[in-house]
């Protein structure tokens, strides 16, 4: 198959390495009857391998010029449903066939990866799992533990929603055109139950963002206006610590103290 021209405005880097495709397919382990959805199939490197195994597959593709090619490449391989749409605006829950959750996968454009993940975090109640090719640096940030240099706001918020696992790295040569960065495949498994107790998720998100807004400063300084040093200590945390040292559980504790402090006297 002649490889179509990748469009810069769509952030396209088409996967062509057969060995990498096989590793991704093995990681996903698609089965007939499952609700499998691919984001950004491009010319169909993954689609052609997964469709015969799943028998039925739904894809969401923004580039309309690729759709006729995709149909031709997948003809006779199974039932392919194509949605010409922007994944950032797409209602993935509309594709769910109860009682099973959706299995999402794809080689995501790097320029939309983070906003797309947050879009999907809002639909996790209908998602079973996710397998994505992302920029390796982003995967390292998502999976980073407290205390590491890459641990930040994205780490905390992603780990609040999902169990995260980097599966393997992929070099630039696996793509056309070759990106200037390393890539990696990540598995995201939505938590069946919240891993921590948080009274207000919006407050939690604001507190985490504020804490990481100035990484070199301590919580005493970054959380000023939300929590004072006494309130931070009340949650069992030294106000002299920095955000990169604070675990998900500790951020949840800070949020509970902040929520309690924001209530008017007499409120439950």
pLDDT over 90 for what percent of the chain?
Answer: 82
- Residue scoring higher pLDDT (200 or 14): 200
Q: Cβ(58)–Cβ(81) under 8 Å?
A: yes
pLDDT, average across residues 36-54: 95
150 with 50, same domain? yes
pLDDT, average across residues 219-242: 96
22 with 139, same domain? yes
Domain count, the chain: 2
Domain assignment of residue 213, yes or no: yes
20 with 83, same domain? yes
Q: Which of 142, 170, 190 is the last residue of a domain?
A: 190
Report the CATH number at residue 242: 1.10.8.100
182 with 206, same domain? no
Domain assignment of residue 268, yes or no: no
pLDDT over 70 for what percent of the chain?
Answer: 93
DSSP string, 86-145: -TTT--GGGG--TTSPEEEEEE--GGGHHHHHHHHHTTGGGEEEEEEEEEHHHHHHHHPP
Return the closest-CA partner of residue 196 out of 258, 235, 252, 245: 252
Rounded Cα distance between 134 and 140, Å, is 10
The chain-wide mean pLDDT, for the chain, equals: 92
Report the CATH number at residue 35: 3.40.50.150
Residue numbers of the domain that contains 54: 11-190
Domain assignment of residue 43, yes or no: yes
Q: Tens digits of per-residue pLDDT, 94-138?
A: 999 888 899 999 999 888 999 999 999 999 999 999 999 999 999
Give pTM, 2 decimals.
0.91
Report the interhelical angle of 136-143 vs 113-121 (nearest 10°).
40
Task: Answer yes or no: is pLDDT of 226 > 80.
Answer: yes
């Amino acid at each position: 198959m002649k490889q179509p021209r990748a469009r810069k405005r769509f952030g396209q880097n088409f996967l062509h390495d057969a060995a990498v495709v096989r590793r991704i397919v093995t990681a996903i382990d698609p089965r007939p009857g499952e609700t499998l959805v691919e984001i950004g199939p491009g010319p169909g490197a993954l689609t052609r391998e997964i469709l015969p195994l799943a028998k039925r597959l739904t894809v969401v593709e923004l580039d309309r010029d690729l759709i006729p090619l995709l149909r031709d490449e997948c003809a006779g391989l199974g039932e392919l449903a194509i949605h010409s749409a922007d994944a950032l605006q797409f209602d993935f829950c509309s594709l769910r066939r109860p009682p099973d959750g959706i299995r999402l996968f794809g080689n995501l454009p790097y320029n939309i990866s983070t906003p797309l993940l947050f879009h999907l975090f809002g639909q996790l109640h209908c998602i079973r799992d996710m397998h994505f090719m992302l920029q390796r640096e982003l995967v390292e940030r998502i999976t980073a533990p407290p205390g590491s240099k890459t641990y930040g706001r994205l780490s905390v918020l992603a780990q609040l929603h999902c169990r995260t696992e980097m599966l393997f790295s992929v070099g630039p040569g696996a793509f056309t055109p070759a990106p200037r960065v390393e890539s990696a495949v990540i598995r995201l498994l939505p938590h069946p139950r919240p891993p921590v107790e948080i009274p207000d998720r919006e407050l939690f998100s604001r507190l985490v963002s504020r804490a990481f807004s100035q990484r070199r400063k301590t919580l005493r300084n970054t959380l000023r206006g939300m929590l004072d040093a006494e309130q931070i200590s009340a949650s069992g945390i030294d106000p002299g610590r920095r955000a990169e040292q604070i675990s998900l559980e500790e951020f949840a504790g800070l949020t509970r103290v902040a929520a309690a402090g924001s209530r008017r006297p007499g409120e439950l």
